[in-house]
Amino acid sequence: MIKDQLNRPLRDLRISVIDRCNFRCTYCMPADIFGPDFAFLPKSELLSYEEIERIARIFVELGVEKIRLTGGEPLLRKDLPVLIQKLSAIDGLEDIALTTNGVMLPKLALQLKEAGLKRVNISLDTLNDALFGQINGRGVTTKPVLSGIQAAKEAGLGIKINMVVKKGLNDQEILPMAEFCKQEGLELRYIEFMDVGSTNGWKMDDVITKKEIYELLKENFELEHTGAAYFGEVAKRYRYSGTDVHVGFISSVSESFCSSCTRSRLSANGQIFTCLFNGNGHDIRDFIRAGASDEEIRQRVTSIWNPRLDRYSDERTAETVKIKRTKKIEMSYIGG
């Protein structure tokens, strides 16, 4: 089989389809950097849907089972259901998901489901409208996001809620979010504040660890550890006792998972990244546009993936963060 060319599993591909967002979130696109005059990528530099489909098909031949579409805000990309329909036709691809802020889901959720999308991860860091407006940089309340969650439910999409927790900003929202998601039957994933990109002002002091969040939840809920559903699952998952509702923790700062990483990333402008924290991308867009054959593309992907030694989360210290900050790709280009 083609996937036997790889030295380690490659099961998950994150594809950023656009480099902009309708929010200017504190975590990944702070307004003081990504203001109205920021120069986003011109359309010609973005991978076309045909190019994305071709690359995705080759990745699936190499073992990828799941694709997640990200951004920026992927729903800003025109006619996104068309891309999802193309991807869903790839033989061997088992799952297509999408990460979104949820604002455009009332309009698009049903189209996305009908095109073949199975799940959405919706970003929601607080239920407090004033704080949410501060975080998203636009003063937008939670109402459109909550409407998006409802639209996703009605469309029959699987839903997970992503909450990035930053000390001194929204750590007081940990329990209210848990109560809300448990009541609504939604899986909540607490994400440690990470040093992605070079613009979010990350400091270790701002991190609320998985252990701290877990201990707080345990004081208020009875939790049962459920274990990993598959090799390479990044979230450590628990179930609220007596329910089918889960809560998860993504702990890339305090409890890294580099050794089991099976994920590659494709940026909005056609660069392959083997690690979220590695700013050294490998061009595939210009390689394709120069006339490369499928076999040449396959060999290039293999040559990028097989030698990978990324262990940034394992090796992270205060000093390495300072040294490596200028070398990281921004979240808007690579997605989460």
Which residues have CB under 8 Å from 291's CB, separation 6+?
A: none
Q: Is 263 annotated as a binding residue?
A: yes
Q: Is 25 annotated as a binding residue?
A: yes
Q: Is 194 annotated as a binding residue?
A: yes
Q: Is 181 annotated as a binding residue?
A: no
Q: Is 265 annotated as a binding residue?
A: yes
Angstrom distance (rounded) from CA 260 to CA 271: 22
Q: Is 14 annotated as a binding residue?
A: yes
Q: Is 123 annotated as a binding residue?
A: yes
Q: Which amino acid is at 94?
A: E
Q: Is 72 annotated as a binding residue?
A: yes
Q: How far is CA 212 from CA 163, 180, 187, 250, in A?
A: 15, 20, 19, 13
Q: Is 68 annotated as a binding residue?
A: yes
φ/ψ of 203, rounded to 5, equals: -140, 145
Q: Is 261 annotated as a binding residue?
A: yes
**What is the SS3 assignment for 85?**
helix
Q: How far is CA 215 from CA 91, 174, 218, 289, in A?
A: 43, 11, 5, 52
Q: Is 258 annotated as a binding residue?
A: yes
Q: Which amino acid is at 71?
A: G
Q: Is 160 annotated as a binding residue?
A: yes
Angstrom distance (rounded) from CA 186 to CA 243: 11
Q: Is 331 annotated as a binding residue?
A: no
Angstrom distance (rounded) from CA 68 to CA 87: 11
Q: Which amino acid is at 331?
A: M
Q: Is 308 annotated as a binding residue?
A: no
Sheet with strand 263-266: strands edge to edge: 223-225, 236-240, 246-250, 187-192, 158-165, 119-123, 95-100, 66-70, 12-16, 263-266, 271-273, 282-283
φ/ψ of 55, rounded to 5, equals: -65, -45
Which residues have CB under 8 Å from 232's CB, separation 6+?
A: 9, 11, 12, 260, 261, 262, 263
Q: Residues annotated as binding site for S-adenosyl-L-methionine?
A: 27, 72, 123, 194
Q: Residues annotated as binding site?
A: 14, 21, 25, 27-28, 68, 72, 99, 123, 160, 194, 258, 261, 263-265, 275
Q: Residues annotated as binding site for GTP?
A: 14, 68, 99, 160, 263-265
Q: Residues annotated as binding site for [4Fe-4S] cluster?
A: 21, 25, 28, 258, 261, 275
